[in-house]
C-alpha cells in the first residue's frame, strides 16, 4: 500500500469536506496545489483566511459584508420602498447580475425545512418583520427558490407579513419548479423579477 505524507493526507481530507468535492476531486486539487508555484498556493490560503476573518453578515439585510452594512444597504440610489427576500447571499448575487432589480434585500440565511429541524427561529425572519414594521416598504418580493421548501417559506412569510400595508409578490414562474436561483440563466431570472406576481 502506497503511503502519502501526513500533510498531503490532511489536505485531501479537508478538501473532501467541501460541498460537491469527492475524494478523487480532493486528491486532484491537493496535487494541483503541490504543482503550482508556492506563492499561488499561499495566495489561496491567504484568501481563505481573509474571508474567514473579514467577512460577516450585514447588520441590516444579512448579505455578506466587510463592514457593518453591505454596499447595497449603504447605496442611497437603491429604491428604499422595494424589498426582495432571498434565501442565501448567492441568490442575491444572481438577481443583481440580471441588472433588473434596484431595490433592497433581506437574506433569510436558509429556508424552512421542518424535517431538517430548520424553523423560523433558525432564519432571520424576526429581523425581517422588524424591518418591515419600522420601514416604509410598498412592495416585498418573496424570491425564495421555487422548491417545496422555498414555496413553504414564502407562504409562511406571506402569512406573517399580511398584517402590514405592503404588496406581496413572487417572481414569475419562468423559473422552473425545483430549480435554484443561483444556477438560473440570468435572462430568465431578469424576466421572473420584472414580471413578478401578486401573492
CATH number at residue 146: 3.40.1360.10
Q: In this model, does residue 188 exceed pLDDT 80?
A: no
Decide: helix, strand or coil at residue 197: strand
Residues 92 and 124 in one domain: yes
Of 106-110, 112-116, 169-173, the one with minimum mean pLDDT is 169-173
Residues 35 and 105 in one domain: no
How many structural domains compose the chain? 2
Q: In this model, does residue 182 exceed pLDDT 60?
A: yes
Mean pLDDT of the chain: 91
Reported for 86-93, long-range contacts at CB under 8 A and 24+ positions apart, including other chains, are: 86/143, 86/144, 86/181, 87/111, 87/144, 87/145, 87/150, 87/153, 87/181, 88/182, 89/62, 89/63, 89/64, 90/181, 90/182, 91/143, 91/145, 91/181, 91/182, 92/63, 93/182
**How much is the pLDDT for 121?**
94
Residues 18 and 46 in one domain: yes
Q: Label residue 58 exposed, middle or buried (CB < 10 Å: 0-12, 13-18, 19+).
A: buried
Residues 187 and 93 in one domain: yes
Domain that holds residue 25: 6-54
Q: How confident is the model at residue 193 (pLDDT cuts 50, 70, 90)?
A: confident
Q: Is residue 66 part of a domain?
A: no
Residues 84 and 137 in one domain: yes
**How much is the pLDDT for 160?**
96
**How much is the pLDDT for 118?**
94
Residues 105 and 188 in one domain: yes
Q: Is residue 60 part of a domain?
A: no
Residues 27 and 90 in one domain: no
Summarised one tens digit per residue, pLDDT across range 126-179 is: 999 999 999 999 999 999 998 889 999 999 999 999 999 999 999 876 666 677
Residues 42 and 78 in one domain: no
Residues 173 and 97 in one domain: yes
**How much is the pLDDT for 156?**
97
Amino acid at each position: 500500500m502506497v503511503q502519502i505524507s501526513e500533510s498531503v493526507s490532511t489536505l485531501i481530507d479537508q478538501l473532501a469536506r467541501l460541498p460537491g468535492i469527492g475524494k478523487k476531486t480532493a486528491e486532484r486539487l491537493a496535487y494541483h496545489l503541490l504543482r503550482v508555484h508556492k506563492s499561488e498556493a499561499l495566495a489561496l490560503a491567504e484568501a481563505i483566511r481573509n474571508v474567514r476573518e473579514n467577512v460577516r453578515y450585514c447588520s441590516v439585510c444579512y448579505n455578506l459584508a466587510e463592514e457593518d452594512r453591505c454596499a447595497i444597504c449603504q447605496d442611497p440610489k437603491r429604491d428604499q420602498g422595494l424589498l426582495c427576500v432571498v434565501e442565501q447571499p448567492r441568490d442575491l448575487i444572481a438577481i443583481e447580475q440580471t441588472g433588473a432589480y434596484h431595490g433592497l434585500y433581506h437574506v433569510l440565511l436558509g429556508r424552512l425545512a421542518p424535517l431538517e429541524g430548520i424553523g423560523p427561529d433558525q432564519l432571520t425572519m424576526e429581523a425581517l418583520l422588524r424591518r418591515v414594521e419600522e420601514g416604509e416598504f410598498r412592495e416585498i418580493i418573496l424570491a425564495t427558490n421555487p422548491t417545496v421548501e422555498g414555496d413553504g417559506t414564502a407562504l409562511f412569510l406571506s402569512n406573517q407579513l399580511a398584517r402590514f400595508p405592503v404588496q406581496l409578490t413572487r417572481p414569475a414562474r419562468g423559473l422552473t419548479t425545483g430549480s435554484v436561483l443561483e444556477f438560473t440563466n440570468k435572462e430568465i431570472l431578469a424576466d421572473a423579477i420584472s414580471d413578478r406576481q401578486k401573492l
